Amino acid sequence: LALAESKVPHTQVEIDLKERPSWYAKVNPAGKTPAIAYGGSARTSDEPTSDSTKITESLVLLDFINDVDPEHRLLPKDPLERARVRFFMEKFNTYYTPVWNAIVFKGEDPQHMLQSIDALQSLLSPNEKYAVGDEVTLADITVFPFFLRTEISLGGDHGAYDEGCGKKVWEMLMTDEKYALFRNYYGALKARDTFKSSYDEVRSSRPDSLSSADSHSCPSVPVAIPQRHLRNQIPRAQREQESW
C-alpha cells in the first residue's frame, strides 16, 4: 500500500509463506514479511544481492518509503497534521491491534472490539475523508489491513471465540448509527483503487487453519491479509534496488 500510494518505482515479487525460499533468511532471519532490500548491484534472480541493505518491520518500512519518496506523500507537511497522523497510529497500536489478537487467537469476547472502534472514532472527523484530512497518510495504510482482517474474522465468525459472537459484533458495526463514522472511513479506504489492488477478495475470504482455535467451535481466520506478500525493488541513482 505504501509503495503504491507513494508511487515509488518498485518490483513486486510474491513468496510462498508456507514454504519460504531458503534465500529469504538473508532478507529477514526471522522469516517475517514484508521486507525491503535497498541498493546493491543488479540482481539476476529472485534472491537478493549480498550488497543490498535489508530493512524489516512494518512501521520502519512505512517511514523509509515515505522518506525515499521525493514528494513525501504519506505524511502531511504541516507539523500539526503530522502529529495527528502519528497519534492516530499510536492509538491504533495501543487500543486496536492487541485487542484483535486477543479476540481472534485467544478467544476473548469480540465485544471488546467495540471499545477499540470507539477509541479510533474519537479521532475521526465527519468532515474529513480519511484518518487525517482528505489525502491518504501512513495512518490509513497502517489500519486498513487490520480492518480487513476484522471484517473477515468477525464478519465470517472465524476465531477462537464462541460461535456467533463475532458476527453479532460485526453486524452492530455495520448497522448501528453509533459506528457510522467508522463505516464511512472504512468504506472510503476499501473504495480506493490502490487499496483494492492490495488484496485478493476471493482468496482472503477463505481462511486458513488457526491452530489456537482448535478447541473452539468457530472456524479459523487467516493470520495475514493479503495472502500475497510483496518483495519490491526500488531504483535509486540508476542502480537497481531490491525489496521483499
Structural domain of residue 53, as residue ranges?
Answer: 2-70+228-243
Tell me if 160 is assigned to some domain: yes
Indicate if 62 and 123 belong to the same structural domain.
Answer: no
Indicate if 61 and 91 belong to the same structural domain.
Answer: no
- Predicted confidence band at 232 (pLDDT cuts at 50, 70, 90)? very low
Query: Any idea what the CATH number is for the domain that residue 139 is in?
Result: 1.20.1050.10
Indicate if 114 and 86 belong to the same structural domain.
Answer: yes
Q: Is the pLDDT higher at 53 or at 176?
A: 176
Indicate if 65 and 84 belong to the same structural domain.
Answer: no
Indicate if 48 and 120 belong to the same structural domain.
Answer: no
**Residue 43, pLDDT score:** 73
Indicate if 24 and 54 belong to the same structural domain.
Answer: yes
Q: Is the pTM of this model over 0.95?
A: no
Query: Any idea what the CATH number is for the domain that residue 61 is in?
Result: 3.40.30
Asked if 141 and 198 count as a contact pair (C-beta separation under 8 A), the reply is no
State how many domains the chain has.
2
Indicate if 94 and 166 belong to the same structural domain.
Answer: yes
Indicate if 128 and 166 belong to the same structural domain.
Answer: yes
Q: Is the pLDDT higher at 90 or at 236?
A: 90
- Predicted confidence band at 14 (pLDDT cuts at 50, 70, 90)? confident
